[in-house]
Amino acid sequence: MSVVLTLLPWKKFLVTKTTRGKIGLLEGRQLGRTRNRKYWRRNEFYLGTWNVLSLYRAGALRLLLDQINKYKTGIIAIQEIRWIGQGTLEEKDHTIFYSCDRKQHKLGVGCVVKKNFKHLVMDFEAISTRICTLRVKGVFFNYTIINVHAPTEVSTEEGKESFYDLLQKTYDECPSYDGKIIVGDMNAQVGKKKYTAQQWDHIVYTKIQTLTDTA
C-alpha cells in the first residue's frame, strides 16, 4: 500500500486533493501558472508500508533498501524488524528509525526515510514494539505518521485491548493541528470463516462469472 504526499513552498503553491486513482494523492498546483508536472513531481514522495517479516537475517536490510529504491518510495513504514532496542541507523542513502524489543529478536516497527527527505523529519518516537510515530514537515500543516503492527485475531483479549488502548492514546497525544496518518499491518480478517487457496479461487471465479453474465 502506498500514498503520495506533496510538500511544496507554501507561498507559491496550493495543495489540492485529486482523484487520480491513487490513495491519498495530493497534487501541487502553482497559482496563476500552468502546472509543470515535471517540477512538482520532484516535490512529492510516496509513503508506503511493508511487513518485512524479519531484518535479522544476513542481507535482509540490503534487499529491503534495494526494493525501496526500485519503487521510489520516500518514506516506508516497516513491521516485524526483529532487531534489538530502539534508535537510528544511518545507511548511505537511507535512515532507519526503529522501535524493537530490548532483549529478544521479535516484533519491532520502524520507518525508512530516503536521504532526500530526511530534512523533513521533525521527530521520531518509539512507543512500543508495535507502535511508533514519525513527524514530518508539510505545507499548511505537518504530518504525524503512526506506524502500527496489530495483534492477530488469535491473540489474547488482554493483548488486543492493550494494543488498541495504546494506539488511541498515541493518536490523542499527536499535535492537534497535524494531519494524522495510520499505516502498517492491521492483521485484518474479513468474516469468521477461513478459506483454503482453492476455495478462494472458486469464490473469485464465481464472482467474475456473475459480473460477466450481468454485464
Give me the number of domains the chain comprises.
Answer: 1
R_g (Cα) of the chain, nearest Å: 20
Measuring CA to CA, which residue among 56, 66, 166, 170 is closest to residue 112?
A: 66
Give the model confidence (pLDDT) of 85-119 as tens digits: 999 999 999 999 999 999 999 999 999 999 989 99
pLDDT at 154: 85
- pLDDT tens readout for residues 116-169: 899 999 999 999 999 999 999 988 889 999 999 999 888 899 999 999 999 999
Cell numbers standing for residue 26: 495530493
Q: What is the domain-level CATH number for residue 31?
A: 3.60.10
Tens of pLDDT, residue by residue over 36-45, are 444 445 556 7
In the chain, the percentage of residues whose pLDDT exceeds 70 is 67
Please say whether the dihedral angle defined by the alpha carbons of residues 26, 15, 132 and 157, taken in this order, is positive or negative.
negative
pTM over 0.85: no
Residue 14 has pLDDT above 80, yes or no: no
Parent domain of 200? 2-214
